[in-house]
Amino acid sequence: MSGFEPENSAQERRQPDVLLVTGAAGLLGARLLHLLWEALPACSLVAVVRGREALRRVPELEGLTVVDGDLRVPRTWATLPATITHVFHVAAAIPRSALEAHSAAIARDNLEPVAHLVEQAQRWPGLRQVVFSSSVAVYGRTTALLDESAPPAPCDLYAAAKLAGEDLLRPLRARGIAVACLRYTSVYGPGMHPGTVLPTMIHCATQQGEIVVHGSGRRTQDFLHVEDAAQANLLACRTGADGVFNIGTGRPVSMAELAQAVATVVTDGRARVRFDRNLPDGPPGYRVSIDKARRELGYEPRLSIRDGLREWRQCLGAPEPCAVSPCL
């Protein structure tokens, strides 16, 4: 058989994959952009952010195309190239309080972009996969060990919107497009929103010299470093994953352990840990099995909470490089 191929066939094979990352100025999105650029140099990258401040935070990567636009608006999607082959939908509206988690706005802001994505996908003939950033919050509060077969039971509109986002993407599968829904535990890293428990502890330890732990400190939480969350996205892409996957460490830590780790790693043991028994411990944290992600994606979390805190400590003296958006 001759090795000659028609010119148009050879050109088609040489076309690089085009990877779209939404929410590319955020904690996870910015790290994912770096990782994809490093790991998949033959691919083209397109990033979507919103606003001048977000544009300033986008990593400067050679060949990166950056689009400034609101994902809730159809015209933003219409400006994207028709050659997209993979979408990493990382953008999300993250509630900053229990009240906001129950607001209609948080549901709308999370669902409208997904609906526009599915609509726009009809005009992307080469689309092969969507990797969707979801949350273990879709399961509801329980002390049970959760695998992907556990029934969803979202307890607020944010969690319900994440579950609905997974469902909205289902029509893509009818076209043979893989949809990988990554249900993260508590993603953390330098630059995350200051109002959550880990940055609050770090602030108290470094600025006040004392960390106050609520109640007994027995409440647990599975903290997932942003680097491991980004790796899960890359693995989902490389394996062509389709389905739902829990992404965490599988090793939750108690609030007492967390406070002690912060005091030891961030302040060399100078900060004091104090328990306030008059404050409630809070709702139970999620315990998830990551066996499916290990088996099907080859996923293995690399950074323990202490490793992640050591990185955070290095960034405390260099706020600019680490100052990324708190939003996914």
Helix, strand, coil share of the chain (percent; to 5): 40, 20, 40
Mean residue pLDDT of the chain comes to 91
- pLDDT tens column, 92-111: 999 988 899 999 999 999 99
Residue 6 — very low, low, confident or very high, per pLDDT cuts 50/70/90? very low
Q: Determine the pLDDT at residue 285.
A: 87
Q: What is the pLDDT of residue 60?
A: 86
Q: Considering 139, 158, 184, 299, which one is annotated as catalytic?
A: 158
- Determine the pLDDT at residue 3: 42
Of the listed ranges 25-34, 289-298, 313-322, the one predicted with least confidence:
313-322
323 in Cβ contact with 53 (< 8 Å)? no
Which residues, 6 or more positions from 173, have their beta carbon under 8 angstroms from its beta carbon?
179, 242
Q: Is the pLDDT of residue 5 over 60?
A: no
Establish whether 184 is a catalytic residue. Answer: no
Whole-prediction pTM: 0.90
Instruction: Please give the Cα distance from 253 to 201 (Å, whole number).
Output: 14
> In this structure, what token pair is assigned to residue 226?
């942003």
User: What gap in Å lies between CA 233 and CA 237, rounded to an integer?
Assistant: 6
Least confident range from 122-136, 166-180, 200-214, 304-318: namely 304-318
The residue among 196, 189, 197, 190 whose CA lies nearest residue 213 is 197
Contact 156, 94 (CB under 8 A): no
Distance CA 296, CA 230 (A): 16
Of 188, 166, 182, nearest in space to 296 by CA: 182
Confidence of residue 191 (pLDDT cuts 50, 70, 90): confident
What local confidence, expressed as pLDDT, does residue 13 receive?
53
pLDDT digits (tens, 9 = 90+) for 203-250: 999 999 999 999 999 999 999 999 999 999 999 999 999 999 999 999
Which homologous superfamily does the CATH classification assign to the domain defined by 16-185+225-248+286-302? NAD(P)-binding Rossmann-like Domain (3.40.50.720)
